Amino acid sequence: RFLIAAHLSRASDIIRTIRDPEKPNTLEELEVVTENCVEVQEIGEDEYLVIIRFTPTVPHCSLATLIGLCLRVKLQRCLPFRHKLEIYISEGTHSTEEDINKQINDKERVAAAMENPNLREIVEQCVTEPD
């Protein structure tokens, strides 16, 4: 139980400082992610399922998928424990949320997207911690 709380806190810390792709603010400042948007479940010995539900600021489709990508990339790189990741748009916040959720959780789509140099550049800028 203590571990779950610790992992949850760690995940929150990782995502709150991600920068919005368009605005000069963090996802926390824009309330795209909050303390309550992270859920952690134990799914095996020393393995945890991390679920993120984020709220995009505008209903723009490509921006939502981009934020989803940033969340996935940073968590995958920074979470120090064995995990599986699910990222969703919080319910009722977007007209095409099913479509977006499917895209951002399809590992082949994600891998192919990250090979796009322009997209990769934007994601890197959003997830890199300032010195």
Partner 1 sequence: PLSPLSPGSGWACRAVLSDAHTRTVRRVAWSPCGHYLASASFDGTTCVWKRHEDGFEVVATLEGHENEVKSVAWAPSGTLLATCSRDKSVWVWEVDEEEEEFECVSVLSAHTQDVKHVAWHPSLQLLASASYDDTVRLYREDEDDWLCCATLQGHGSTVWGLAWERSGQRLLSCSDDRTLRLWQRCDTQGQGSGSEQSWQCVCTLSGYHGRSIYDVAWCHLTGAVATACGDDAVRVFEEVMPASP
Choose, by CB under 8 A, the member of 1, 36, 45, 111 that binds partner 1.
111
> What is the smallest separation between the CB atom of 112 and partner 1, expressed in angstroms?
5
Residue 42 binds partner 1 (CB under 8 A): no
> What's at 90, amino acid-wise?
S
| Pairwise CA distance, residues 55 & 115, whole Å | 26
Residue 45 binds partner 1 (CB under 8 A): no
> What is the smallest separation between the CB atom of 46 and partner 1, expressed in angstroms?
12
Choose, by CB under 8 A, the member of 1, 92, 108, 118 that binds partner 1.
108
Which helix (H) or strand (E) covers residue 65, if one does?
A: helix 61-78
Burial class (CB in 10 A: 0-12, 13-18, 19+), 40: buried
Residue 112 binds partner 1 (CB under 8 A): yes
Q: Give CA angle at 19 (16, 85), nearest 5°.
A: 55
Nearer to partner 1 among residue 60 and residue 107 (C-beta)? 107
